Structure 1
Amino acid sequence: MPTGTHLRDARRQLFDAAERVLLRAGPNGLTSRAVTDEAGCAKGVLHRHFTDFDAFLAELVLDRAAQLDSQAHALREAAGTGTVAGNLTGALTTLFGPVPVAIIPLITFRDELRARLRQAMPGGGVAILAQVTTAVSAYLADEREMGRIVADADVDSLTLSLVGGGHLLFADRDPGPPTTATVNKLVTTVLAGVLPQRPRRA
């Protein structure tokens, strides 16, 4: 493995390398040596850009969490269109993609990383899950405002059920992620009772 490769955009290439290692080897396999080997650079490159490995991981998580913002925006833009269940099914499948799901246990098992994330942003200690929760909650509130969810719907409880249940579905990717039908079944079960009933035809 080369040790003197020049990285044109070192931070971006190190982040991308860490993502590949994380997806391939899981949180336990994500070490500074594994990242620099994957990026094809000297180990010192990482430490020239970050004070230590936890600082690198914190920046990685924050970068990937920020990428969820566009997906969250798309979900809110979908309010009032299609079906509520269909929109949430698609959103959970996207928001709980392979990289976000791989990052969650990384945060869970590294105390120092959680501490740094809490310092960096509100709710940072549960980054990724916090972004997904905020996105789903805002969307449900919008749909309730539009009358597509009943006025007395408990958005907080619905959000917890959808995000918690969605995470459980996507956390085990062996042999693969859940099917669309499986995710939709979760969503429709959670939403049962809060979608306005259509009048029956005589």
Structure 2
Amino acid sequence: MDASPTSPRTNRRAEQSRNLIQDALTRLILDRPEHRITVTTLCREAGINRSTFYAHYRTIERVLDGMERAFAERLPLINEDHPMSENLDEYEKFLRYCRTHSARFIALRRTGKLEGSMLLRAETLDLSTHRMPGRRNDEMHRLLVSYAVEGTLAVIERWLTEPEPLTPEHLSHVLLGATLSLDTVESSLDLESFD
């Protein structure tokens, strides 16, 4: 975000304005192609003037970046050094956030922005480097991380649009199990043949 609040009241008002802008952009993305959305259209949809928009963001892209960052920062990363219940709790928190902000999640999926930041976060933190020391093929590992992240996002999107979805608790078990099973895939491959 581009603005820096100076007091709690200003902070609350700024947060409210940013939410109005993000909610309006979400509605517009769900209604029309992203390239047809202008700052003027966005301000009209949000019920704000352009100076309010520019007090918080420089471009529509920056609004999307802020929305995207909120999801990416909550992406659960598996830590095998922690009890499984902690990993499940992290997945549940993420799923609850996705459900609370389901329209934003779906809008970001339409723009393709969500995948990039999630992959970057997963690769930067390197989901499972410590699992296979000395035997990991970097390209194969990146492909499996990509598969896990993009598959997880697709499953969550489908979950958000289902009429009677699983509970966050149940889905967290499914996603964690699927992600952990990729270790078995990676370890069972003859990685020497991929080098």
TM-score interval, smaller chain: 0.5 to 0.7
Unmatched runs of 5 consecutive residues or more in structure 2: 1-8, 189-195
Q: Within 2, Cα distance between the matches of 1:22 and 1:177?
A: 26
Taking only the aligned residue pairs, the percentage that are identical comes to: 10
Specify the alignment match of 1:4 in structure 2. none
Secondary structure of 1:97's aligned partner: helix
Deviation of 1:22 (Å): 6.2
Secondary structure of 1:81's aligned partner: coil
Code of the residue aligned with 1:94 in structure 2: it is F
Does residue 136 of structure 2 align to residue 152 of structure 1? yes
Q: Within 1, Cα distance between the matches of 2:68 and 2:74?
A: 11
Specify the alignment match of 1:81 in structure 2. 82
Code of the residue aligned with 2:142 in structure 1: it is D
TM-score, length basis structure 1: 0.55
Code of the residue aligned with 1:149 in structure 2: it is M
CA gap of 1:192–1:166, structure 2 versus 1, over 3 A, is: same
CA gap of 1:17–1:64, structure 2 versus 1, over 3 A, is: same
Answer whether contact 2:123 2:142 (CA < 8 A) is retained: yes
Q: Within 2, Cα distance between the matches of 1:149 and 1:61?
A: 36
CA gap of 1:133–1:149, structure 2 versus 1, over 3 A, is: same
TM-score, length basis structure 2: 0.56
Specify the alignment match of 2:6 in structure 1. none
Deviation of 1:69 (Å): 6.1
CA gap of 1:104–1:70, structure 2 versus 1, over 3 A, is: closer
Deviation of 1:161 (Å): 0.5
Code of the residue aligned with 2:61 in structure 1: it is A
Does residue 70 of structure 2 align to residue 33 of structure 1? no
How many residues align? The count is 156
The Cα RMSD (Å) is 4.2
CA gap of 1:64–1:24, structure 2 versus 1, over 3 A, is: closer
